[in-house]
Amino acid sequence: MLEDMNINDIVGEYKQITLDLYAIGARKFFYTEIETPYPEGKIIVSTSDTKGVITHVNHVFVEMSGYTKKELLGKNHAILRHPDMPKMPFKELWDTIQSGKKWQGIIKNLRKDGGYYWVKATVIPNIKNGVIVGYTSVRRKPSALVVAEFIKRYPTLRGSK
Amino acid sequence: MMANRFTVSPDFSPDYLAGWYLFNKWMQKQTGLKIDLELYGNFYTQRIVTYSHADLVYVNPFDASMLVHDKGFLPLAKVAGNFDETVIVVNSDTPINGITDLKPDLKLAMTEDPNINMIGMMLLEAVDLNDGNIEKVIYDNYVLIVKNLLEGHADVGLFLAKAYDELSWVVKKQLKVLLQSEVGEIYHSFLISPALAEKRDEIQSLLIDMDKNKEGQDVLRALGFDAWIKVDDEEMAFMVNLIDALSIQS
């Protein structure tokens, strides 16, 4: 369960939609067309438990997401899920990491203020004594070409820049 | 008494060479162990020694995570406020002012410092530079990268930020930093081998308390460090996982 976005946090003209998120349930979104360009050199680091609940964030995560560290810890990673993102990559991500394998892909992430940023994400299962105990994720700046290719593949993203 | 072997990643400034010998002397005095410090001028040789017969090591995050994961080494400490960041550097005479100015077919100078190369390539990937369109040239150490950048034999160099910072101002004046990574989660670590595990708590305590007396402070100063901070198994497990995640290139 993830609470709805707060309209008071949104900056700029926004759209509104309620979506049923994979493994999470319904959430009301407010989102804008404002992109926060991913800064060169920075790498987002986070860990989560086996259900995707955030257990650790670095300062770059805080900066890019617009949430405070306190707001992020204990929340499901789906708090970053952008309504434009198709379900398929997330299903593929969860199927892959739950089977003990590593996943990498392009993701459009949603900020607290309704804006967005693109990342190239890598997620790996943390395995202890043969059991998955959580996940570690790193996100970095994707190349513009790779993002453009990704947008072409998914109709829901075709309006994206 | 059989000597224990101690080795250090060869990425520190020559200014601290004597400091490591002082530190080794301090360790022997404090622990009563016979410890031979073995320093090498390149990562390749140092890594062979480390993986085959080292008992105490101060190594980069990649080697630390491999030693913990594959060889059962145990974490002792890290240096306060010291994270491993990567800098991308060019000759100051070039018109290049940012990584977006870099073009394919460039010659990239690097050492065999795995996490620096890994992060460096990750940052360059954002401007579509990768193994397929650049030429990587491996040098033994950062001094040789500087030499080759200044002589025009390499276009771009990857450095451990701390190693770059420790270059003289005369050298740095002739170079230009295009970008520095910002990860803030990976660091050099002091580790102990499983063979010496019964000494772990004792050596860990000695390191953590090192900045609390004059003798220890003098040795730390000779290494350019302020203090050691304890690293526990959980914190090291986090770094092992993080290095694993960072190791996955496209």
For residue B211, the domain's CATH number is 3.40.190.10
Interchain contact, B241 vs A138, CB within 8 Å: no
What is the distance between the alpha carbons of residues B69 and B209, in angstroms, rounded to a whole number?
27
A40 vs B contacts (CB less than 8 Å): 98-99, 123, 126, 179
Q: Are residues B150 and B33 in the same domain?
A: no
Q: Does A158 have pLDDT greater than 70?
A: no
Domain that holds residue B217: 4-82+186-246
Number of structural domains chain B divides into: 2
What is the distance between the alpha carbons of residues B216 and B207, in angstroms, rounded to a whole number?
9
Q: What percent of chain A has pLDDT over 90?
A: 82
Q: Are residues B54 and B108 in the same domain?
A: no
Distance from CA of A28 to the nearest CA of B (A): 32
The answer to whether residue B123 neighbours chain A at the CB level (below 8 Å) is yes
Q: Is A9 part of any domain?
A: no
Q: Are residues B232 and B163 in the same domain?
A: no
Which of the four pLDDT bands, split at 50, 70 and 90, describes residue B250? low
Report the residue of B83, B124, B234, B246 to disrupt the A interface, i.e. the one with the largest count of A CBs within 10 Å. Answer: B246
Q: Does B24 have pLDDT greater than 80?
A: yes
Q: Are residues B168 and B198 in the same domain?
A: no
Which of the four pLDDT bands, split at 50, 70 and 90, describes residue B1? low
Distance from CA of A50 to the nearest CA of B (A): 15
Report the residue of A64, A122, A135, A147 to disrupt the B interface, i.e. the one with the largest count of B CBs within 10 Å. Answer: A122
Report the residue of A38, A40, A139, A143 to disrupt the B interface, i.e. the one with the largest count of B CBs within 10 Å. Answer: A40
Number of structural domains chain A divides into: 1
What is the distance between the alpha carbons of residues B47 and B116, in angstroms, rounded to a whole number?
15
Distance from CA of A83 to the nearest CA of B (A): 25
What is the distance between the alpha carbons of residues A60 and A77, in angstroms, rounded to a whole number?
15
A145 vs B contacts (CB less than 8 Å): 128
Q: Which CA distances in Å does B101 have to A145, B35, B94, B155?
A: 16, 49, 11, 12
Task: State the CATH number of the domain containing residue A153.
Answer: 3.30.450.20
Distance from CA of B96 to the nearest CA of A (A): 16
Q: Is A16 part of any domain?
A: no
pLDDT digits (tens, 9 = 90+) for A47-78: 999 999 999 999 999 999 999 999 999 999 99
Q: Are residues B138 and B58 in the same domain?
A: no
Domain that holds residue A73: 35-157
Q: Which of B45-54, B119-128, B143-152, B187-196 has the lowest mean pLDDT?
A: B45-54
Which of the four pLDDT bands, split at 50, 70 and 90, describes residue B84? very high
What is the chain A residue with the closest CA to B248? A122
Q: Is A55 part of any domain?
A: yes
Distance from CA of A7 to the nearest CA of B (A): 31
Q: Which of A92-101, A141-150, A152-161 has the lowest mean pLDDT?
A: A152-161
Q: Does B233 have pLDDT greater than 60?
A: yes
The DSSP bridge partners found for residue A116 are A35, A110
Interchain contact, A122 vs B245, CB within 8 Å: yes
What is the distance between the alpha carbons of residues B12 and B78, in angstroms, rounded to a whole number?
15
Q: Is A44 part of any domain?
A: yes
Q: Are residues B98 and B136 in the same domain?
A: yes
The answer to whether residue A41 neighbours chain B at the CB level (below 8 Å) is yes
Q: Is A7 part of any domain?
A: no
Q: Are residues B71 and B142 in the same domain?
A: no
pLDDT digits (tens, 9 = 90+) for A142-151: 999 999 999 9
In this prediction, residue B185 carries a pLDDT of 93
The answer to whether residue A50 neighbours chain B at the CB level (below 8 Å) is no
Beta-carbon contacts of residue A138 (< 8 Å; ≥ 6 apart): A43, A44, A45, A121, A122, B242, B245, B246
The answer to whether residue B250 neighbours chain A at the CB level (below 8 Å) is yes
Residue type at position A44? I
B87 vs A contacts (CB less than 8 Å): none
